[in-house]
Amino acid sequence: MTLEDAPGLHAVLGDEQTMRFYPQPFSPAEVEDWIARQIARYPTGAGLLGITLKENGQLIGDCGLVWQDVEGLRQFEIGYHVHRHHQRQGYATEAARAVRDYAFNTFPCDHEVSHVISMIRPENLPSRRVAEKNGLTLSHTIFWRGYDHCIYRIDRPAR
């Protein structure tokens, strides 16, 4: 993503229904900050990328890897957001699967990339299904940043 994607991404992250599992939808300035954080992550191989429709290039969401400090461990999280009009059509599942495979195929197997996680609010059943379709299983639930989050996890496959 680039800052030129801000209006398209604001249609996603600024939508109240799409962001119902976040404290609030993002303002235009927050979306610009969000994109700037992703751009800063790109040189490390992390960061969320835009999800676009193949037929017309419309930006409908984002998906990628983000380092998170969870329970005293630095872990790669697969994160994704898809606009409500494009949910339940397989886009998040396809994007998250590609990101999972990228993590395991790109980063060396060490204590930090022996697995990936997704942190999902318990009531966010569609997002939980995306994780499950991609082989992540519920590990446990934690209280993180003011809310309960289910920790879904998948270990690097044996080679």
Span between the terminal Cα atoms of the chain, in Å: 33
pLDDT tens for each residue of 70-89: 999 999 999 999 999 999 99
* Cβ atoms of 73 and 92 closer than 8 Å: no
Parse the chain into domains and list their residue ranges. 3-155
> Whole-number mean pLDDT of the chain?
95
Could you confirm whether domain 3-155 is CATH 3.40.630.30?
Answer: yes
Q: What is the mean pLDDT of residues 122-129?
A: 97
Between helix 91-106 and helix 125-133 the angle, nearest 10°, is: 50
Q: pTM of the full predicted structure?
A: 0.94
